Amino acid sequence: MISQQKQQQSIKSVDVPKRPVNYGPQVNQSAVTDLCGRVFDSPNMLEVPKQAEEGSSQNSSQYTPPVSVKTPVGGALGLPTRKEQMQKDPLSQQEVQSSLSQSDDEKDKEFTEQGTSSGGPSDSIKICRVQAGCSVVQITVGDLLLNAKLDSGAEITILSSRMYDKLKKAPKKVQDVVMQMANAEIALKGFITAPLKMQLGSRCFKERIYVAPIVDDMLLGHDILHHLGVL
């Protein structure tokens, strides 16, 4: 029995030579190739630091909503900016303001010309100031050129009786009236005439007129001023 055990131990201790196995060209197992074809001698070069891995895991767990970015119109889209457009624009700010002022002047001039051609009150009546703060206008009554005093307190226009007598073609009397003067306690007896042709500035019209013995040549009251559109 002892001899058999020794024989088995001697058999086990004999090393059997191994045949070499051809696995092709030897490759450095420690070398690693990345996706771009770059070869690294050690796989440790591709190891990601733990801090980076922890940061990536934290970022993946926390969702960050997308942020909208407003792109200014102009240079970002290839279009000229406002500054570039102003530099290329041949009109400067002063030229624009001058053109606007010229257009306003033309409008004012056009409005003035229209008012003059239409015979508006501003062009029709020329007011002259005389002594004692009275205002008079020149008016043609029939064939007479008179200085009519503007009477803001008179409701009617009164022609003096002496001026009526000087008319070459005096209109006929229509009605006898009694007029009460505002600044006097006396009553004036007079009459109303048929429509009489008158001209005030560039305005020609026909209007009935009151005749009474007054000091002034004529008192221009509200009736004719309303007729002309002055009041």
pLDDT (tens digit per residue) in 23-62: 555 544 445 555 555 655 544 444 444 544 454 455 545 5
Query: Residue 112 corresponds to which amino acid?
Result: T
**What span, in angstroms and rounded, lies between the C-alpha atoms of 211 and 155?**
14
Average of per-residue pLDDT across 110-131: 44
What are the domain boundaries of the chain? 122-228
Strand boundaries in the chain, DSSP class E: 32-33, 39-40, 127-129, 135-141, 144-150, 158-160, 173-180, 187-193, 196-200, 203-207, 210-212, 218-220
CATH level 3 topology of 122-228: Cathepsin D, subunit A; domain 1 (2.40.70)
Q: What's the confidence (pLDDT) of residue 136?
A: 83
**What span, in angstroms and rounded, lies between the C-alpha atoms of 30 and 44?**
9
Average of per-residue pLDDT across 175-185: 77
What pTM does this model have? 0.43
Q: What's the confidence (pLDDT) of residue 66?
A: 52
Dihedral of CA atoms 189, 192, 198, 203 in degrees, nearest 10, equals: 110
Backbone angles phi, psi at 186, to 5 degrees: -90, 155
Q: For residue 132, with 0-12 CB atoms within 10 Å meaning exposed, 13-18 middle and 19 or more buried, which class applies?
A: exposed
Taking Cα atoms as reference points, which of 224, 212, 158, 207 lies closest to residue 188?
212
Helix, strand or coil for residue 223?
helix
pLDDT over 70 at 187, yes or no: yes
Q: What percent of the chain has pLDDT over 90?
A: 15
pLDDT over 90 at 92, yes or no: no
User: Residue 134 corresponds to which tokens in the numbers above?
Assistant: 């009275």
pLDDT: which is higher, 210 or 86: 210
CB 201 within 8 A of CB 126: yes
- Residue count (the chain): 231
- What's the chain's Rg over C-alpha atoms? 58
Q: What's the confidence (pLDDT) of residue 107?
A: 45
Highest-pLDDT range among 34-38, 90-94, 100-104: 34-38
Q: What's the confidence (pLDDT) of residue 193?
A: 92
Q: What's the confidence (pLDDT) of residue 207?
A: 87
How many helices (H) and strands (E) the chain has is answered by 7, 12
